[in-house]
Structure 1
Amino acid sequence: MKKYSADEEIQRLTEFVREKGGDAMFISSDKVITGEWVRMKCLFGCNGFGRRFSCPPYTPTPSETRAVLDCYSHALLVRFEGDVGETTPERLVSREMTRYVQTIMYELENMAFHDGFYKAFGYTGHQCGWCGKCCAKEEDAVITDCKNRRKMRPSMEAAGIDVYATCKNAGWDLGVLECTQVEGGTVLNKPMTTVMLLLVE
């Protein structure tokens, strides 16, 4: 097995993301910003709270995530623009897009791990899409009930990461998502940007 330096690995992973239609950029892990307020947005602003094991309250707190980030020096920000499937007013991001980006992050983490970066860990985008129905919704559910724990990862925001501030630190301009209310739900005014993070050490 060829040994890659951290810089070589970041470049290798970046090329993989670009082949898949996205973009990626190196960011020092100390430039990844966490905040206690982020969890409040999940608790009071998202219908997914407690409905999937990749979401709070099952995910690490912002302070726990900060402690994890402090174990790394290298990270890769990953972004995808738009969608790969059809959306509806009830679903702003298609199931196909969710599965697509989560599969890519799973493959990225595995690639880094098998290249010798055994601490590699990914934060994905969207709510978990590995199962059609998450058993987190069942009474007395615990995270060990998850049927896809090998693949399932929290999103950045679910783990308390300030995605906007982190993107700004990387030189990426990430605007606030704008939507319009229509009959039956909401539609996006412009394509969604999906942002994810891979820690590499």
Structure 2
Amino acid sequence: METLEVYCLSAIERGMDGAKVIDPRSIVTAEWVRMKCQFGCPGYGRRLCCPPHTPIPEVTRKVIDSYEKAILLHQRLDQGRKTKGFNEAIVRLEMEVFLDGYYKAWSMGSGPCRLCKECDIAGLCKHGYEARPSMEACGIDVFKTARDNGFPIEVIRSLEASRNVYGVILVE
């Protein structure tokens, strides 16, 4: 098995602006994050990768705590650019990590899943191999997690603004 820094280099080659091996204990979960989805996002309940279909923060914390390492991934998106390409790159990197022998590798991306134009929440996911929930959908405080690990992040003040987005791959 490769050292995890190899995957950080692979992430940069895939277009990420930053990648860092971190201690999973530095990933911050909080109940209020899920509330921001429920009472602030028009997509709440409309996708299988969004609350209430995603793990609650308490379950997310238990999952995170079952891993020894994580890779925090960062990309700066220019105005108007969606997270779909970023999330697809994370899933491809997760698969690379898995195929190298890290059988527990699992990732979370950023923002809503955009694999289907409209998600069939009454059925099974049509893209189960590629679909992943976002960090925030699982109750992760992305701002504190990014800042505590030395990455930049700020509140965007308009939808046209550039922004920093994050994803994580849990590895053991």
TM-score by length of 1: 0.81
Superposed, 1:102-113 pairs within 5 Å as 102-113=87-98
Moved >3 Å (runs of 4+):
none
The amino acid across from 1:58 in the alignment is H
**Paired residue for 2:33, among 38, 42, 49?**
38
Q: Secondary structure at the match of 2:168?
A: strand
Verify: 1:62 aligned to 2:47, yes or no: no
Which 5+ residue runs of structure 1 have no aligned equivalent? 88-92, 180-186
Deviation at 1:39, TM superposition (A): 0.6
The amino acid across from 1:20 in the alignment is R
Asked whether the equivalents of residues 37 and 51 of structure 2 are also in contact (C-alpha less than 8 Å), the reply is yes
Percent identity for Structure 1 against Structure 2 = 37
The amino acid across from 2:26 in the alignment is K
What's 1:28 paired with? 23
> Which structure has the greater CA radius of gyration?
1
Deviation at 1:33, TM superposition (A): 0.4
Superposed, 1:1-201 pairs within 5 Å as 3-4=1-2, 8=3, 10-22=4-16, 23-83=18-78, 87=80, 93-94=81-82, 98-136=83-121, 141-142=122-123, 145-179=124-158, 187-188=159-160, 190-201=161-172
Q: Secondary structure at the match of 2:39?
A: helix
Give, in whole Å, the separation in 2 of the partners of 1:51 and 1:62.
Answer: 19
Which 5+ residue runs of structure 2 have no aligned equivalent? none
Deviation at 1:133, TM superposition (A): 1.6
Aligned length: 171
TM-score by length of 2: 0.94
